[in-house]
Chain A
Amino acid sequence: MPAPASPSDLRRWLNRATFGTTPALLEEVQSMGWERWVAAQLAPDDKTDTDCQKRLNNLRLHIEYEVQPMAPAAAGAKAMMATQVAKKVNENRPLRLLHQPLEQTFPMYGKDDVNYEEKSLAMQEVMMATLLRAVHSQWQVREMLAEFWHNHFSVNADKDESVMLALPAYDRDVIRANALGSFRTMLQGVAQSAAMLYYLDGVESKASPANENFARELFELHTFGARNYLNHRFTKWRDVPGALEGKPEGYIDQDVYEAARAFTGWTVENGAEDDDGAKRPNTGRFMVREAWHDPYQKRVLGTEFDSQRPALEDGLRVIDLVARHPATARFIAEKLCRRFVSDDPPEALIKQAAAEFTAAFDAPDQIARVMKVILLSAEFRSAPATKFKRPLEFLASYLRATGADFAPRIDVVYQLDEMGQRLFRWPTPTGHPDTSGYWQSGTFLLRRWNLPLVLRDDGWKGIASFHFLTLTPADCTTAGQVLAYWSQRLLGQEVAEKSRAVLLQVLTDDDEANASSEFSGDDKDRDIRIASCVALLAASPEFQYR
């Protein structure tokens, strides 16, 4: 029986397993114990996340645009379209598209008479809900995993309005629904999603030649990983070790091309006619066009596919082959360990997590089981805080540590953009990098230092409400005590000696201050000075790591 974890251990584990420690969460885990807390997190029940749900219900998104009526000549030429009436929209709307099924949201695709601002709500709502949940959801491990899978199966909603409109269903029904579930189920969901079919061009891939985009990323990014791309060593399938036994150890270009052929015909209902000439509705729902399918025999990863098989069958067989390959277990395990442990995760843990991924492959809670292995492992527990926080983690951990009330608006997204994190709009299918090098660039650091100050800007009223003075215990009467309290909240420790003097000066606005100086002034003034000091604690190197 391991010794009970110290508060500083728990804090370190929480900082990596969640979007950031809070005093309340630390207390909760201290009383439950780490193992029980992890078990609860891995079986989340949305119905109990009441505080977060209330905040989501109260959130309002601003939408503003003007519609000019069409000039008479143009209106005559497009008589078939709905006539546009002059309209001015300036509203604050609750989240609605977030809960809407794909069939109700996607029909806006291609509709010229629907203003772009209306369409972009599909993306904005997912962004706001993601931000709010990162800070306020009780189910923090699930939120971390939702972010992980969104980056693993990354789509760029900027690419086309089709991807944007398909985003709520993608986020809700594909990623979040399976984040702690079955990888195989999630992979099929991704391959059949309007979001991915439009993003990687599968939607118009027909024989012949097929469009390779999705098939390549399926192998390189979603399953095997680039390390198992063996093209530099083998150009013939039979030369790949294990191929003749139907178990090649990696993939080559030919596998990508054959898989691309297998997926031809995997498309969506988007108003066009189907093979029988019937006009399909514009729903974004997955459908198959046999007329587009390359029906001839294929060979993927040393496995022969007979000719004249249905498009659905061919594609599903590819998904099965890649999902079950040991390289995939390894790749996913390594990525999860990199997310939750360190940039260079320990080999032993990767092996253990990969073994669980394989053993639990057919379990409905496969990923939860892999996460349990990781979060309870000795490697996770002993790893120091060396993961550099990505911008969302930085923002969320700051808001969580300071006990702020968060009601995000689009301004927050622009700030994260400037720090390098482009929510749902990373420009390539690789998703955001998960090693520190990328995030530590000059301008990104500068924006990070500025963010706590920006959050207090007049123009940002209502986005983040802080309670610095009210949260400071009444018995903190000296500057030293106030500094110690907030250092503990954000960093779990006192600040380094050399920075302490100047931070005390910031707290008191007095160059002669020391730790025993009285912390005085009117309420508003003291609140502002604590805010300035805490903004600096957030900029400290210590706060950047989890």
Chain B
Amino acid sequence: MNTTTSLLTRRSLLRRALGASGLTLGGGGIQRLAFAEDSAAAAGRDLLVTIFLRGGCDGLGVLAPVDDPHYRAARQANLRIVEKGERPGLAIKNGYAGHDWRLHPDAAPLQELYAHGDLAMIHACGLKNGTRSHFDAQDMMERGINEQKNLGLGTGWLTRFLDSLPGTGLLPGLSADGAMPASLLGCTRAAAIANLQDFSYYGDDRQMKALRLMHAQSGALGAGGNRMLTLLQEVTKKLPKKPDGSVAEYLPAKGVTYPEHDFSNTLKTVAQLAKMELGLQVAAINYGDWDTHTGQDYRLNDLVANLAKPLHAFYADLAAQRQRTTIVIMSEFGRRLKANESGGTDHGHGNLMWVLGGGIQGGRCLGSWPGLANDKLDEHADLAITTDYRQVLSEVLMARMRGAEVATVFPGFTPGSPLGVV
């Protein structure tokens, strides 16, 4: 009878297996029906994963024309990719004409995906607007716009994309983080789940019922709270459990090992939810602080290594659904061609964008390379942009959207001639 007493006194962060307790939901029952998902339909959905490299990834430090005299003159050896020595860059085929293109020495897993035809790279890409402010650039890219005057837009591009897709799955959109990014701004069909190991409410059934009733009201918090409670219940039911009732560790696909790193944990969360038949169609991930004003030599090495290996594992982990999975990697801007005096680089303009997936025309560098001669640089300082970031995203979306228009996702943007990403 004294269940409440025993729960609090013996509490040592006991995870409650909510599914096993036969919860009665009262007013929440109707919502449960609305989220019922046909697992066959759920299993067939395309998945778009975006990875946003926060801080301005140095595209010229990841993929560069190592024999270009402008490149060599602009940075000392430890701040650029070199063609020989202890850590030479990794050669690739089908680079932009006229140069020896190399990937960062720690990007071997990416080199492999590229050689295999799964990874396409688009350099001199990005936000044409020209702002050098992280704040503005990220906000604009995540809203799918190009002008500050449109920053009042109350939805992110992923929100508009997701809203155009059919599907009443329980979790159409995911932010693999505690917070929701601006790209999912205004989305009522997405949730932020940072990890699944500790995804439970510590109260008992009665307390859960109380939470339900308190959130059965109008307003953002009521709706958000209720969505979380429903998700909690359904996801918890599907999570593999240990004999003691706690959540078992995620087992990736056979033969796949993720390296030990926080970014791996984020990717594992996405992989696990993607495989759970919750109707997941969009996942937004953040990685890094790539803002290497100083200490770029060792910081960039770490960032690239800890992007490449986990990403490779993630892609292998999702091999069974590779054909309908697309991963887009972008950053708010690239970094200056010429290094500063503090061992780093400052905010630039044109950058590298990657697209990875079974349906991608990989193994190629797409778009056009403007060159690094002074008169070809933006403001005589930074790599120019020849491909609008929305061009890349549009081509990916057009293969995924059924009947809806790119114009609703990227208002004010007119796609140019296709790059041939997909």
Residues of A within 8 A of B (CB): 201, 204-213, 216, 220-221, 226, 229, 231-232, 235, 253, 256, 388, 418-420, 427-428, 430, 436-438, 440-446, 449-450, 453-454, 456-459, 495-496, 498-499, 502-503, 505-506, 509, 525, 528-529, 531-532, 535-536, 539-541, 544
Contact = CB atoms under 8 A, between A and B. Distances in A.
Given A226-B135, A528-B9, 8 more contacts: A211-B346, A419-B178, A420-B179, A438-B180, A442-B231, A445-B225, A454-B13, A506-B206
B199 interface: yes
30 contacts: A204-B343, A209-B340, A209-B346, A211-B293, A211-B344, A226-B133, A229-B131, A232-B131, A253-B132, A388-B221, A418-B194, A420-B179, A428-B54, A428-B289, A442-B191, A442-B224, A443-B193, A444-B178, A453-B11, A454-B202, A456-B11, A457-B12, A502-B206, A502-B213, A506-B206, A509-B4, A528-B9, A532-B8, A541-B217, A541-B222
B207 A457 contact: no
B136 interface: yes
A232 B213 contact: no
B32 interface: no
B192 A444 contact: yes
Nearest to B146: A232
B133 A229 contact: yes
A409 to B, nearest CB: 16
B129 interface: yes
Contacts of B253: none
B10 to A, nearest CB: 8
Interface in B1-38: 1-5, 7-9, 11-13
A117 to B, nearest CB: 22
Given A226-B133, A229-B131, A253-B132, A457 B191 contact: no
Contacts of B225: 445, 541
B8 A440 contact: no
A100 B199 CA distance: 41
Contacts of A539: 211, 214
A229 B180 contact: no
B386 to A, nearest CB: 20
B135 to A, nearest CB: 5
Contact of A541 (B177, B207, B221, B294): B221
A268 B235 CA distance: 52
B192 A211 contact: no
Which residue, B130, B231, B340, has most C-beta atoms of chain A within 10 A? B340
A541 B132 CA distance: 39
A452 B232 CA distance: 19
A226 B227 CA distance: 34
Interface residues of B, number: 70
A525 B293 contact: no
A454 B4 CA distance: 15
Nearest to A540: B214
Contacts of B340: 209-212
A212 B214 contact: no
B210 A536 contact: yes
Contacts of B130: 231-232
Nearest to B294: A201
A443 B179 CA distance: 8
Contacts of B207: 506, 532, 535-536
Interface string B174-211: 01011110000100000111100001011100110111
A440 B379 CA distance: 41
Contact of B134 (A428, A440, A535): A428
Contact of B213 (A231, A420, A498): A498
A344 B216 CA distance: 26
A253 B215 CA distance: 47
B8 A531 contact: yes
A420 B180 CA distance: 11
Nearest to A450: B202
B78 interface: no
A159 to B, nearest CB: 9
A533 B307 CA distance: 45
Contacts of B414: none
Contact of B129 (A232, A256, A388, A506): A232
B135 A220 contact: yes
Contacts of B9: 528
Which residue, A232, A442, A445, has most C-beta atoms of chain B within 10 A? A442
B77 interface: no
A509 B1 contact: yes
Interface string B47-83: 0000000110000000000000000000000000000
Given A499-B210, A541-B215, A204 B294 contact: yes
B342 A427 contact: no
B157 to A, nearest CB: 16
A19 to B, nearest CB: 20
Contacts of B11: 453, 456-458
Given A420-B179, A536-B211, A440 B224 contact: yes
Interface string B111-148: 00000000000000000011111111000000000011
A229 to B, nearest CB: 6
A207 B221 contact: no
A466 to B, nearest CB: 11
Contact of B217 (A205, A437, A496): A496
A441 B194 CA distance: 10
A216 B132 contact: yes
